[in-house]
């Protein structure tokens, strides 16, 4: 799928979280959502990103923003990641990258000179009605929260 733009409707989904519970975007109607996609749990960049979200949770809650992280990892791997770093927010399992495709974040990338397909680290700020306020493709791990907070100040 093509990249989403500001003002687009955020594609709906339902995925298992790290505790095996079904979580859908519809569950968050009436709330702003910071939805971020990351390549793999417990890798250096993904850990920096998740811990940054965790460490800024008070700011996000103060702005009435809920957080959902999505990766192709299994719920079990997501659970280990959550437990190891005490993240405390839903980490959703998109093992077949169906949702990543809907958001335009599954693509070809280069790692150590090799071409491979995977998650292009990206984040989306979604409003209470399910509309994309802003989106950041290939976002840097430590910019995820900053960009979301700035988008609400613009």
Alpha-carbon distance of 151 to 128, in angstroms, equals 15
Two tokens at 115?
């071409």
Catalytic option among 15, 46, 50, 139: 46
**46 belongs to the catalytic site:** yes
Q: Where are the beta strands (DSSP E) in the chain?
A: 14-17, 22-24, 32-37, 65-71, 91-93, 106-111, 114-119, 122-126, 132-137
CB atoms within 10 A of CB 117: 10
Residues marked as catalytic: 46
């Amino acid at each position: 799928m093509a990249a989403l733009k500001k003002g687009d409707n955020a594609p709906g989904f339902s995925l298992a979280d790290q505790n095996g519970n079904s979580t859908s975007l519809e569950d968050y109607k009436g709330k702003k959502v910071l939805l971020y996609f990351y390549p793999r749990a417990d890798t250096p960049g993904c850990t920096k990103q998740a811990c940054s979200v965790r460490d800024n949770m008070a700011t996000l809650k103060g702005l009435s923003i809920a957080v959902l992280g999505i990766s192709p990892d299994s719920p079990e791997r997501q659970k280990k990641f959550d437990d190891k770093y005490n993240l405390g927010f839903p980490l959703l399992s998109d093992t077949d990258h169906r949702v990543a495709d809907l958001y335009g974040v599954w693509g070809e990338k280069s790692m150590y000179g090799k071409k491979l397909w995977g998650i292009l680290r990206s984040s989306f700020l979604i409003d209470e009605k399910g509309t994309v306020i802003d989106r950041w493709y290939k976002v840097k791990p430590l910019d995820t929260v900053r960009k979301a907070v700035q988008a609400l100040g613009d």
